[in-house]
Amino acid sequence: MTPASPLVPAPRSHDAAWTRWGTWWLPVGPVLVACYATVMVLTILVLEPLAAMPGMTSAQISAELAAAGVSVAGKVPFLVGWAALGVALSVAAGAVAIRRRVAPATALALQLAVLALGAPAYFWAAFDMGMDLADTFDITGEAHSAVPSVLYAASGVALAALAVVGLWRAVATAARSGATAGHGSP
């Protein structure tokens, strides 16, 4: 038996779950990531500034920021691109899962990982706007609305679910290898 070449694709899953579940559920991951990304961008550009400066409109906040040399409109391309990157990662993970027919648990784990990465992505994307608000209005740069907590919680749930999927796969693999090891014993 010759060793597998590194250029040979990984074997496709023969898991019965593909027959049972099919692939209809795979777009759920990119849809959830797109929702997360949309809420992230709206939170950074609209909800957080409004919560930080109650009584002011978005136009007034943007005008004050512009007077301080900060362009809110200039932040839009980066934030939309950053959000689109997360959606693209999720779509790519789904495409790889379909093309390579990885085990359904692996496909689920890929989508959960992208959702879990939403928390650091939000923090990094929101930091600049938070500091601009803090510097312009002499307030703290922390979250001023409940929405960031919801985004962090969603990422936390995804991370916990990812750990559960990983543990479940490890236990299932150990059980299968224990069961096959026992068949060859006298």
In sequence order, what DSSP letters do the residues of 118-164 get, joined into one string? HHHHHHHHHHHHHHHHHHHHT--SS--SSHHHHHHHHHHHHHHHHHH
pTM summary value: 0.83
How confident is the model at residue 101, as a pLDDT?
80
Angle CA 55–67–127, to nearest 5: 75
Give the chain's residues under pLDDT 70: 1-22, 181-186
Token pair 């496909």 in the structure block, residue = 107
How confident is the model at residue 155, as a pLDDT?
98
How confident is the model at residue 22, as a pLDDT?
67
| Residue whose C-alpha is closest to residue 45's, from 77, 75, 65, 87 | 75
How confident is the model at residue 10, as a pLDDT?
47
Token pair 């919560």 in the structure block, residue = 51
